[in-house]
Amino acid sequence: MTSKWFERWSEKYRNRNLIPYLEQVIEMRKIHAQAWSDSEIKQRAKTMKMRVREGVASARDVIEAAGLVDEAAWRVKGIRIYDVQWLAGMALHEGCIIEMQTGEGKTLAAVLPAFLHALSGRGVHVLTFNNYLSNRDAEWTRPIYEYLGVTVGCITEGRNSEDRKRAYAADITYLTAKQAGYDYLKDSLVRDTEQLVQRPFHAALVDEADSILLDEARVPLVIAGERGVSKREAVSYAGIVKQLISGVDYETDKEFRNVYATDYGIDKVEATLGCGNLYEDHNINVLTMLQCALHAEALLKRNVHYIVRDGRVQLIDECTGRIAQHRHWPDGLQAAVEAKEGLDIRANGQILGTITLQHLLHLYPKKCGMTATAQLAAQEFMDMYGFQVISIPPNKTSRRVDEPHMVFTHRAAKQQAIVDQVRAVHQTGRPILIGTSSVEESNEYAEALRRAGVTCQVLNAYNDWEEAALISKAGMLGAVTVSTNMAGRGVDIVLGGGSLEEYKKVTSLGGLYVIGTNVHENARIDNQLRGRAGRQGDPGTSRYMISLEDDLFIRYDLAEVLPHDLLARRQDEPLNDSRILQLIEHVQRVVDGQHLDMKKTLNKYADLLEQQRMILFNRRNEILHGRQRPNIIADYAPERYRQLCEQFGTSRVHAAERQVLLAIMDQCWADHLAYVAYVKEGIHLESLGNNNPLDEYNRLVIAAFEQIDGDIVQRVLDHFSNIDSGCIELHFNDEDLKIPSATWTYTITDQFFPNRVSLF
């Protein structure tokens, strides 16, 4: 069977690095595990676990493990694993990123590498895109793992510490990458080992790897202590900037990523506040608040960048169109947007710990990932993580037809053409999915379709919790679904909704018809939308219908390079000019390269802070676990140490010093993070003096870090010098020493450090 299937492959697959994995699959098929009894399979799995933990496992054990997983899937699920799924599983076990088309069974392909890594007893984290997928995949795969004697845990939002600890203790744990990061940050602040919920990281298998490892790689996860925000000031400055006139008092760049106050605007603000020169040192807080308020007013648009729901500002992820859970804007910008919308101002808090998803993944000694769109980002995966990308051929040849773009001169013509196209296709009963770029646009198209007599369902940030239910209907006869970018990421659109009779009708009509209303900077995101159609060899069609007034054309000044005869036209019919499509492809390649270069530069800044964090974290861990005893009082104040030991006893002094030292180390790191944020704000100005910003950043941040040891010692000595009598133990209610619980992520811009000085 395998050899015949292999013969169907084209040369491009044979020439890649799949041959070793294919040979493993062929060997696995020779095992004939179906002849083994249940007890024999379980005993073999147990023996294999012992061999792995004793360090005597061989390549043959991998082959046998595959046979065990295959037979387990058949006995508990009634499913035989396809050869392509085995190829994917073998490549994942070797630490690759695999590209596997939508609907080809990535969840099942991940079972083999997860099982193999779990045999060590050190734990495997299967990192998913959202809580729904974590729970779904954990429950679906659980019977297979448990049949083989492997335990499974699942962590979703809202679980308490004891539940989390039990889930992390399982052999395989399903959770989101952000949940893993949040718990890691919380563990980095505990004062007792009993409070830890995680084990040391061992292996991570990342689902939707391009989204988690690339699109969100630099989004920092943050743990913070509560700190008040001045509502009066935020509201006051929001009112001031509302009086400023766009184009007169301030201007924005064409990309709407930066805003600059004019001289008129500066004069108006100074007159309103009566504060004198805004750039005097004593006005630094005023300037910062004004910059945030103007940024919120001019650049951040409701229903594009955020929504307001339940009296709160909730950010929209630009790559997915979903609500970005627990994500805030940094440094007062969140409060500025809340003031702009007339909402209660919520506390931001002092940052006590932070880590990016990229650095979090680097903490796992073993890691791999899978996605439907990896090959276009192969270079980025290699540069950022050292991953090789392996493309897995589909089990059945794709029958999806990707039609060429239709380009219109203006948005109104594009919208009308899309409505006409949807209405015509809808009359046949063929299901349609329309992918839009924002909440606002999804609502516009839904309303236009309803006016045209087409009933549709809408999926965007306002109802993203209904995603699974809505997507389950998107492939049914007559369904029309309007969605933001990433409808159904991780969820397959099943033609006919599970009904065999309806499936036959839908396939006879050509399958799912996907229409994209905008092309993106990254062609990978375009391909993700196309991939909603044509799953598992089903028929399907995709087409992008765009206009010269779309964001991509305006943001990158494409009008300047387009032929003038095209720009002079305004017609309802699509343009028939291949130069436009060539230009789009060129821009996407160039922008993708620019973004990769930008990430490399930004990583140079972020890597230094991460190195410093790890130095302090490792030192803290030694003290937390009792492998290193703090001797600060004894070494630096021996007489005070003697007095304390006489008064409280040596063991109590040592225990108290340990607790106080951990708390003070945490506070010193928080102070360091605040200083680094301050340095970031102005580091771009170094280039104006012909200095290298990175060199200056490194100099300042390294110098500050070198002072931390001295600060820690002095704070510990100060703390114990003020103890007269009574209790020497740490009071956890003390404001400076209590453990925080608030966690969120920050949204960051493409520029290294948001240039607030340039706003005014």
Same fold, 228-348 and 597-723: no
Query: Is the separation of the CB atoms in 223 and 186 below 8 Å?
Result: yes
Would you state the structure tokens that stand for residue 594, as one six-digit string? 């620019």
Q: What is the mean pLDDT of residues 63-91?
A: 93
Would you state the structure tokens that stand for residue 156, as one six-digit string? 């979703």
Per DSSP, 455 falls in state: -
Please provide the average confidence, as pLDDT, over all residues in the chain.
Answer: 86
Closest-CA residue to 200 (of 187, 213, 219, 217): 187
Reduced to 3 states (helix: H, G, I; strand: E, B; else coil), residue 156 is coil
Query: Is the separation of the CB atoms in 202 and 120 below 8 Å?
Result: yes
Between 265 and 153, whose confidence is greater? Answer: 153
Q: What is the mean pLDDT of residues 496-521?
A: 93
First to last CA, the chain: 70
Query: What pLDDT is stored for residue 341 in this prediction?
Result: 92
- Give 706-756 pLDDT, tens digit per residue: 999 999 999 999 999 888 666 776 654 455 555 655 666 565 544 443 333
Query: What pLDDT is stored for residue 356 in this prediction?
Result: 92
Closest-CA residue to 153 (of 163, 76, 162): 163
- Which band of pLDDT confidence, cut at 50, 70 and 90, is reported for residue 155? very high
Q: What is the mean pLDDT of residues 191-195?
A: 94
Query: What pLDDT is stored for residue 731 in this prediction?
Result: 54
**CA geometry: angle 384, 385, 390, nearest 5 deg:** 110
- Which band of pLDDT confidence, cut at 50, 70 and 90, is reported for residue 570? confident
Among left, alpha and beta (phi > 0; psi -120 to 50; other), residue 488 is left
Range 597-723 has CATH code 2.30.30.90: no
> Does 305 score more than 80 pLDDT?
yes
Among left, alpha and beta (phi > 0; psi -120 to 50; other), residue 78 is left
Between 557 and 14, whose confidence is greater? Answer: 557
262-266, 287-291, 302-306, 660-664: which is most confident: 660-664
Q: What is the mean pLDDT of residues 604-629?
A: 95
Q: What is the mean pLDDT of residues 621-631?
A: 94
Query: Is the separation of the CB atoms in 352 and 311 below 8 Å?
Result: no
- Which band of pLDDT confidence, cut at 50, 70 and 90, is reported for residue 625? very high
Between 556 and 545, whose confidence is greater? Answer: 545
CA–CA gap between residue 86 and residue 18 (Å, rounded): 11
Per DSSP, 709 falls in state: H
- Which band of pLDDT confidence, cut at 50, 70 and 90, is reported for residue 347? low
Sequence-distant (≥ 6) Cβ neighbours of residue 256 within 8 angstroms: 299, 555
> Does 567 score more than 90 pLDDT?
no
Provide the angle, in degrees to the nearest 10, between the axes of the packed helices 333-340 and 284-298. 60
Query: What pLDDT is stored for residue 408 in this prediction?
Result: 93
Q: For the ranges 132-146, 172-186, 248-262, 578-592, which has the lowest average pLDDT?
A: 248-262
- Give 36-76 pLDDT, tens digit per residue: 999 999 999 999 999 999 888 888 888 999 999 999 999 99
CA–CA gap between residue 514 and residue 532 (Å, rounded): 7
Beta strands 512-516 and 432-436, pairing class: parallel
Beta strands 124-128 and 399-402, pairing class: unpaired
Could you tell me where the beta strands, DSSP code E, fall in 85-234?
97-99, 124-128, 152-154, 172-176, 203-207, 220-225
**CA geometry: angle 616, 619, 621, nearest 5 deg:** 110
> Does 331 score more than 70 pLDDT?
no
Alpha-carbon distance values, 26 to 1, 2, 30, 71 (Å): 9, 7, 7, 15
Query: Is the separation of the CB atoms in 352 and 669 below 8 Å?
Result: yes
Cα four-point dihedral sign 142, 143, 145, 151 = positive
> Does 5 score more than 70 pLDDT?
no
> Does 157 score more than 90 pLDDT?
no
Burial status of residue 209 (CB atoms within 10 A of its CB: 0-12, 13-18, 19 or more)? buried
Query: What pLDDT is stored for residue 508 in this prediction?
Result: 96
Closest-CA residue to 422 (of 504, 525, 516, 494): 516
Between 292 and 724, whose confidence is greater? Answer: 292
Residue 206 pairs in a beta bridge with 127, 369
Sequence-distant (≥ 6) Cβ neighbours of residue 37 within 8 angstroms: none
Per DSSP, 128 falls in state: E
- Which band of pLDDT confidence, cut at 50, 70 and 90, is reported for residue 577? confident
Please state which CATH class domain 16-224+358-391 belongs to.
Answer: alpha beta
Q: What is the mean pLDDT of residues 456-470?
A: 78
- Which band of pLDDT confidence, cut at 50, 70 and 90, is reported for residue 175? very high
Query: What pLDDT is stored for residue 489 in this prediction?
Result: 59
Query: Is the separation of the CB atoms in 445 and 482 below 8 Å?
Result: yes
> Does 15 score more than 60 pLDDT?
no
Between 515 and 750, whose confidence is greater? Answer: 515
CA–CA gap between residue 17 and residue 706 (Å, rounded): 47
Cα four-point dihedral sign 55, 56, 59, 64 = negative
Between 201 and 23, whose confidence is greater? Answer: 201
Domain boundaries, the chain: 16-224+358-391, 228-348, 399-576, 597-723
Widest distance between CA atoms in the chain: 92
Q: For the ranges 259-263, 373-377, 490-494, which has the lowest average pLDDT?
A: 490-494
C-alpha dihedral, 407 to 410 to 413 to 418, nearest 10° = 50
- The strands making up 152-154's β-sheet, listed across from edge to edge, are 152-154, 172-176, 124-128, 203-207, 366-371, 97-99, 389-391
Query: What pLDDT is stored for residue 733 in this prediction?
Result: 46
Q: What is the mean pLDDT of residues 690-715?
A: 93
> Does 509 score more than 60 pLDDT?
yes
> Does 758 score more than 50 pLDDT?
no
Closest-CA residue to 480 (of 526, 438, 435): 435
Number of H helices and number of E strands within the chain?
Answer: 31, 22
Query: What pLDDT is stored for residue 487 in this prediction?
Result: 45
Q: What is the mean pLDDT of residues 311-336?
A: 78
- The strands making up 350-356's β-sheet, listed across from edge to edge, are 327-328, 742-746, 220-225, 350-356
> Does 511 score more than 70 pLDDT?
yes
The third-level CATH classification (topology) of the domain covering 399-576 is Rossmann fold (3.40.50)
- Give 368-397 pLDDT, tens digit per residue: 999 999 999 999 999 999 999 999 988 888
Query: What pLDDT is stored for residue 327 in this prediction?
Result: 76
Percentage above 90 pLDDT, the chain: 51
Q: What is the mean pLDDT of residues 494-507?
A: 92
CA–CA gap between residue 574 and residue 409 (Å, rounded): 7
Range 228-348 has CATH code 3.90.1440.10: yes
The DSSP H or E segment spanning 314 is strand 312-315
The DSSP H or E segment spanning 66 is helix 59-77
Query: What pLDDT is stored for residue 143 in this prediction?
Result: 98
Q: For the ranges 299-308, 415-424, 466-475, 586-595, which has the lowest average pLDDT?
A: 466-475
